[in-house]
Amino acid sequence: MEAGLSWTDERVALLRRLWEDGQSASKIAAQLGGVTRNAVIGKVHRLGLAGRAKTGEDGQAPVRAQPALEIETAIAVVEAEAPEPVAIVTHRPAPEFPMPTPAQAAPAEAVSLAVSQRVTIMDLRESMCRWPLGDPTTPEFRFCGARSITGLPYCTHHAEIAYQPAAERKRDRRVAGFR
């Protein structure tokens, strides 16, 4: 799952997406896997993407919620419909977070009021919480799906977890992350 890493269309697409989204070269490299930040920067220049809307370019990471990384990665993979296995490196967003109880076969009428339904990307709507659940590479991958806070991508529960001071977030990277 590590061999044959190169700038495939999928990887370039993900690179573009993350770079234009303001992610740093090192973070992008970590997500792509198999490349260094130098490689990412070099590729960015060759693609003519250098110089972007730099919001937090002065210091560390841009103002962005951690889960956004996984979401973008998952979406990018889905959109690309990668013909070959794609290695996904995720960042665990928080130490621990109690997951809502498994949604049982609830009547459609009850969905809107349910605490969490857990939906696939196909059923994810604008007003639904986009907090990722599970491994994006597996069919079991779901999004929270609960009613999101207006203007935010997450429900109240996950927004609390997502939006934390960067300084308090622990640097804890690992392969595959959510539960």
Sole binder of DNA in the list 39, 82, 121, 124 (CB under 7 A): 39
Under the binding rule (CB under 7 A), the answer on residue 26 touching DNA is: yes
Cα 128 to Cα 4, 73, 110: the distances in Å are: 37, 18, 15
Piece in contact with DNA (CB under 7 A), picked from 42-50, 110-118, 120-128, 134-142 = 42-50
Piece in contact with DNA (CB under 7 A), picked from 30-38, 84-92, 105-113, 150-158 = 30-38
- Residue 164 to residue 94: CA distance in whole angstroms: 9
Smaller CB separation from DNA, 91 or 157? 91
- Which residues from 50-79 bind DNA, rule CB under 7 A? 50-51, 57-61
Under the binding rule (CB under 7 A), the answer on residue 91 touching DNA is: no
Q: What is the DSSP track for 57-123? A: TTSSS-S--THHHHHHHHHHHHHHT-SS----EEE--SS--PPPPPPPS--HHHHTT-S---B-TTT
Piece in contact with DNA (CB under 7 A), picked from 39-47, 105-113, 119-127, 139-147 = 39-47
Q: Report which of 61, 171, 169, 154 is spatially closest to residue 116, judged by C-alpha positions.
A: 154
Q: Judging by DSSP bridges, how do beta strands 89-91 and 173-175 pair with one another?
A: antiparallel
Sole binder of DNA in the list 20, 38, 173, 175 (CB under 7 A): 38
Sole binder of DNA in the list 1, 9, 20, 42 (CB under 7 A): 42
Q: Residue 164 CB: number of other CB atoms within 10 A?
A: 13
Contacts with DNA by CB under 7 A lie at 6-7, 24-27, 35-39, 41-46, 50-51, 57-61
